[in-house]
């Protein structure tokens, strides 16, 4: 199957009311384990990929290393691979586009692309983020791969007081609409766990909505009923796997 066909098939897996469930991986080994268990696609989480190599999140892992990891994952599994590309490892649209072209060269067919200012504070303006998304889409078109651009807004993730999340709804809807008009394939709202607010985002969106499972989040079936098209698990799988590894050693060390 060609890379372009994988990208096309991956987009088709996003169905409102019957969401694609992604159990995020961090390297070729974890990708193969999830693929062998029957996954239709695999997705990295930036926090997990970085932690697995001893780095912190926030583009601390070198881009060359990330590209190598992405290449190994894509070479190891036959299913679609989407990479959490954070802020694209650049700010200027043309630099982001160049980095995305390199990522497409690894065999990846999708990215998460966030609007927070990596290494800074706050979010990029809607207008500037739209320029960045449009540049990614042009790079994708030039490579002949219909890259799935999962446009992420950090509005809710940055606001730790969930009681204030309703106040962010209007801006989130506006960003989602603008990102879709600029070439985004999906809209990712990590940090949002209120089922009614999620439903409102889904009702307004023209592209599939991605919700991340975290404490307080609705169940997958509840998210499906709200109209969600994609459910991901962020760093959870890595944290659980590393915890289990430590538990096994502690049990072994404490045995006779």
Residue 63: predicted pLDDT: 98
Residue 255: predicted pLDDT: 59
Cβ neighbours for 203, distance < 8 A, ≥ 6 positions apart: 227
- CATH number, domain 3-253: 3.20.20.60
Read off the pTM: 0.96
- For residue 11, what is the enclosing H or E element? helix 3-12
Catalogue the E-assigned strands of the chain: 20-22, 42-43, 81-84, 110-114, 148-152, 186-188, 209-212, 230-232
Residue 253: predicted pLDDT: 76
How many degrees, rounded to 5, is the angle at CA 17 between CA 108 and CA 23? 40
User: At 5, is the secondary structure helix, strand, or coil?
Assistant: helix
155-197 per-position pLDDT tens digit: 999 999 999 999 999 999 999 999 999 999 999 999 999 999 9
7-38 per-position pLDDT tens digit: 999 999 999 999 999 999 999 999 999 999 99
Check whether 256 has a pLDDT greater than 80.
no
- Residues found in the chain: 256
């Amino acid at each position: 199957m060609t890379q372009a066909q994988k990208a096309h098939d991956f987009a088709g897996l996003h169905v409102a009311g019957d969401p694609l469930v992604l159990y995020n991986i961090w390297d070729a080994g974890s990708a193969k384990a999830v693929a062998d268990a029957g996954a239709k696609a695999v997705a990295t989480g930036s926090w997990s990929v970085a932690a697995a190599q001893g780095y912190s999140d926030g583009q601390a892992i070198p881009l060359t290393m990330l590209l190598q990891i992405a290449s190994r994952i894509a070479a190891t599994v036959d299913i679609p691979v989407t990479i959490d590309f954070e802020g694209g490892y650049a700010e200027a649209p043309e630099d982001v586009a160049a980095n995305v072209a390199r990522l497409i060269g690894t065999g990846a067919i999708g990215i998460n692309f966030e609007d927070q200012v990596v290494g800074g504070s706050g979010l990029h303006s809607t207008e500037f983020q739209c320029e960045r998304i449009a540049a990614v889409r042009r790079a994708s078109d030039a490579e002949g791969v219909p890259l799935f651009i999962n446009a992420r807004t950090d509005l809710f993730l940055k606001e730790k007081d969930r009681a204030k999340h309703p106040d962010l709804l209007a801006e989130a809807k506006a960003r989602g609409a603008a990102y879709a008009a600029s070439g985004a394939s999906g809209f990712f709202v990590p940090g949002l766990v209120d089922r009614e607010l999620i439903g409102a985002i889904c009702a307004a969106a023209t592209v599939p909505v991605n919700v991340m499972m975290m404490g307080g989040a609705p169940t997958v079936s509840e998210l499906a009923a709200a109209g969600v098209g994609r459910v991901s698990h962020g760093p959870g799988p890595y944290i659980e796997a590393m915890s289990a590894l430590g538990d096994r050693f502690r049990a072994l060390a404490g045995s006779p």
